[in-house]
Amino acid sequence: MTSRSPKRRRTTAPSDGLTRRRFLGGALTLPVAAAIPAPFVGRVAAAAFGSEPGVGSAVVPGQASPYAVVLGTAQDAGVPQVNCFNDNCNAVRRGERPAPRVSCIGLVDPAAGKRFIFDATPDFAPQVGELLEHPPGTTPATGSVPLEEYLHGIFLTHGHMGHYTGLIHLGREGAAARGLPLYVSAAMASYLGANEPWAFLVRNEHVRLVELEPGTRVVLTDSLAVTPFEVVHRQEFTDTLGFLIHGPERTLMFVPDADVWEGWTVPFEELFERSDVALIDGSFFSYDELGHRPQGDVPHPPVVTSIELLGDQRGDREVWFIHLNNTNPLWDLDSRENEVVRDAGFGVARRGQILGL
């Protein structure tokens, strides 16, 4: 595959001293405060960068190119999980760390004036609020607004609790959305249409189901398109999709949830080759974390396995881990595990992080 280095966008780190290695040459990034104007740092970036582990990057106000923004990085049940009293969960309970939001990204095309969100999590309301602050320089919404005029579509990966239950906010008791496009697999469409309270949203046209065909590109704007693909993951209710998000310069791979990287309809490595930047399942750092539960109950490829698999194939691609379980030592920014990830040339996604497309 030809080198992508001419297309690479620079990323920047927050001014808390954290840095990551650039994927070519090992150069360190610059503090965010030196890279973007102070009003933007204060309104969006600074507040978000301190919230979750990893390294944030920034968009300069007035930029017209599309981009993705990380709106959450936690596994479905969040941190603290209801039955979790480990160091990660207790640090949040004691107020020593901010509570992270559940794994989610937003997609913004400033030139087209369009915004999309990937997964409707239990943190849907604050995540939509954060997304509506984009692009930089946007006049904040005031009062009660028609959500469908500000948010132009929701893409769902699958039917597990952290990825679709935020849809509850779209009904009569909440936003009372009107015809908000909901991009889903055929199996997810069937599940939503057959089970309450989701079927109520469909019947009353709060959402408009748009069924996706794996491998078929969906054009969103003149500068953005999305190609869904099938992911191997537990199918208690629905199948699971991942997405290739195509911009004018880069393609982002989004796979927050998977059982394994093997046995896919389209091989994972082939999809990875088509991307320039990847946000992938980092639920567990290793298989040693769950304690009283068998790991087989919730299979996910551990971070150490992903690093080993992709180390030689990564090239100049950016790879960021997302969807961290409450047991994951990567929540501790000073942990040895974070050092291992950084030294291998990978990163941990962070709320507020911008990925140019």
pLDDT given for residue 232 in this prediction: 87
pLDDT in tens, 296-315: 667 788 899 999 999 888 88
Tokens 């009372």, located at residue: 176
pLDDT at 22 over 80: no
Average pLDDT taken over every residue of the chain = 82
pLDDT given for residue 24 in this prediction: 22
pLDDT in tens, 149-177: 999 999 999 888 888 999 999 999 999 99
pLDDT at 123 over 50: yes
Q: Which CATH architecture best describes the domain 12-356?
A: 4-Layer Sandwich (3.60)
Rounded-to-integer distance, Cα 206 and Cα 201, Å: 5
What's the pTM value of the predicted model, to 2 decimals? 0.83
Mean pLDDT, residues 43-71 = 57
Mean pLDDT, residues 83-103 = 93
Report strand pairing: 354-356 vs 347-348: unpaired
Residue 240, H or E segment: strand 240-246
Higher pLDDT, 317 or 26: 317
In angstroms, how far is CA 95 from the centroid of its own chain? 24
pLDDT given for residue 263 in this prediction: 87
pLDDT in tens, 308-354: 999 888 888 999 999 999 999 999 999 999 999 999 999 999 999 99
What does the DSSP assignment read for 90-153?
HHHHTTSSPPPPBSEEEEEETTTTEEEEE---TTHHHHHHHHTTTTTTPPPP-SS--GGGT---
pLDDT given for residue 60 in this prediction: 54
pLDDT in tens, 202-239: 999 999 999 999 999 999 999 999 999 999 878 888 98
Mean pLDDT, residues 6-20 = 32
Locate the domains of the chain by residue range: 12-356
Identify which of 348, 276, 267, 353 has the alpha carbon closest to the alpha carbon of residue 315: 276
